[in-house]
Structure 1
């Protein structure tokens, strides 16, 4: 069976011979190791590793050049404003935030309970009270989050500072010219949040139960804010996609790639991905919509998106050329699956040769 390493290694070796003239030139360049067996082995290992080193260098050069030819591409960087959208087409770029300010305002107010939690969480008791959600809490997770415990009141000052932020927002809410329903739900969220803060500071204590009692009263109001944020995002993105579809044109639009960058916790079913997919060629949407999880928001989202997309596009072509007779290997090379994944699963599922004992289950370790 032809493997990726064998194929690429052979190609690199042919290129090396054509460049150097013959294998003797390569030996002369490295120096004669002499009769020392350890030196011979070291030179042999270095020569073998050089195959992949050169492969990676040439692969990187192809990727860097390919980035300049990717078109049309839409890059979406998820952010607090509903997403920064960038269109790359025929060497030109256009970037903007298409979602109205209602999105950011509605989500900002709805985040108040999360802001309070972020302050008090380290000071929680490790004892989980009997609450409706208790069964879904992992005790080890609670132990790690509550790393300071309830033995100190260091939480008071930061909680009061956050309360001051909420108070300012509450006092100026009616000047934001929000829709009446959204203003009412935002008022409710801020008022109940401030009540929890004031009562906790006055008592000098809080716990999971008091916090859950506080947040339990906000489900309806938070739902209203989410509905307004969602409506603003859908309208803004749809209007932009319609305009860009006309700009790119019917001939180029079917080949569109869209790369959506988001933090891992929102990448599996991302809000922007759901909206934009409806505007893509249905036959290509599953392969041309790339959800790219990131550890943190990149400083240059367009570069990160194009760099990753270049890998995907060149691997799509390489997969069918490198493995024309091995469909499973081709699919692994052009997808997110590691090329060795299936072989590792196969070997882990089989009994170890030469050893006695029962068959190990996949995913278990000794």
Structure 2
């Protein structure tokens, strides 16, 4: 559903008629307008009248896009975060240019790589699961319809054996080389346990030429304590890397500019709530502006140009912040909706559908700056 945040990316060189996908040329079937006295306004058809009204909104969109495109050039300072397998790629945007780093140590990716082993096994066998929920401790948490959708292959088939054996070969190589990776002792031990248990599950399943949800959950449940160890090491690496980068960039841009810093985190929808980088960054920003200046942009796929996507969306948000107060000076609730994630029609639709229309919109925080020299980064 299109909202103000889903407006056209650019209207440059596009006529208002083409922009909205209609032709302004009247057709022979157009009904002529009549005035209150019954006189025909032969020079203006009904479609022409509609087109002239459509053009008003098209003109607004064109003007809006022009303002946004120019505003992008003035956004500074901004940090754009692209979540990835390495813990995130961070880009600092200032009036002097851009610089990008991957601040998180390799321990993050190595620990998560082995922690993902149960999910890797599941991804091979899932479509061959029986579509009936067995007697499991968490059986009531499994949606029967979702299980049918995932288990779309014949559960009597053995077509899963070859890809599972191929994955086992990858796991066996990692297990053999694990001692040479130079990981902390506790992490080496947990990774070894996960790999050993996975290979045991795979070998037993291949030999029997059968598996079920119970046998898989026995395996995945047995390695959960080791997965927690891996998560601990990954989190430590990410926190350290991100905080050090934020401290360095704060010193570079200066206290005054840092107080107004915007951070835009690009993430997938599945990780957009309590996103790991968002949690860390929050404590490195001006606390008074976190609610409005730390922005999560969830998406389905990584955009082709992540930096432009982040800045383009940020420009929309910044200009909406100002437009909200000037376009709706007599209704702060509607102004807050324009500044936030609500559609402006949401309240009215709720009312007409029989709801209260009381969508809660929190007022924007007071934009106070931090005291000079105060570091928001927790030590």
> TM (normalized to structure 1)?
0.86
What is the distance in 2 between the residues matched to 1:30 and 1:109? 63
Instruction: Output one character per residue of 1:269-295: Cα deviation in whole Å (capped at 9) or x when no partner.
Output: 001001011011111011100011010
Q: CA deviation at 1:241?
A: 0.6
- Check the 8 A contact 1:82/1:104 in 2, yes or no: yes
Residue 74 of structure 1 is matched in structure 2 by: 79
Moved over 2 A (4+): 29-36
Instruction: Output one character per residue of 1:139-174: Cα deviation in whole Å (capped at 9) or x when no partner.
Output: 000010101130211111111111111111111111
Matches within 5 A, 1:41-120: 41-120=46-125
The DSSP-based 3-state class of the residue aligned with 2:266 is: strand
Alignment match of 2:32 (pick from 30, 37, 43): 37
- Check the 8 A contact 2:87/2:108 in 1, yes or no: yes
What is the distance in 2 between the residues matched to 1:224 and 1:284? 34
Quickly say closer, same or farther: Cα 1:153–1:324, change in 2 above 3 A. Answer: same
Equivalent residues, number? 325
What is the distance in 1 between the residues matched to 2:74 and 2:60? 21
Alignment match of 2:275 (pick from 259, 270, 274): 270
Residue 289 of structure 1 is matched in structure 2 by: 294
Instruction: Output one character per residue of 1:343-365: Cα deviation in whole Å (capped at 9) or x when no partner.
Output: 111111169xxxxxxxxxx9xxx
Quickly say closer, same or farther: Cα 1:282–1:32, change in 2 above 3 A. Answer: same
Give the stretch that moved more between structures: 105-114 or 297-306: 297-306
- Check the 8 A contact 2:117/2:194 in 1, yes or no: yes
Quickly say closer, same or farther: Cα 1:127–1:35, change in 2 above 3 A. Answer: closer
Matches within 5 A, 1:111-130: 111-130=116-135
Residue 221 of structure 2 is matched in structure 1 by: 216
Instruction: Output one character per residue of 1:290-344: Cα deviation in whole Å (capped at 9) or x when no partner.
Output: 0110101222211111011010000000000100111111111111111101111
What is the distance in 2 between the residues matched to 1:201 and 1:63? 58
Structure 2: runs of 5 or more not aligned: 5-23, 34-43, 360-379
- Check the 8 A contact 2:26/2:45 in 1, yes or no: no
Give the stretch that moved more between structures: 293-302 or 221-230: 293-302
What is the distance in 1 between the residues matched to 2:31 and 2:116? 69
The DSSP-based 3-state class of the residue aligned with 1:70 is: coil
Q: CA deviation at 1:30?
A: 7.1
Q: Does 1:143 align with 2:148?
A: yes
For the aligned residue pairs, the C-alpha RMSD in angstroms reads: 2.1
Instruction: Write 1 or 2 for the structure with the bigger share of helix.
Output: 1
Q: CA deviation at 1:35?
A: 9.8
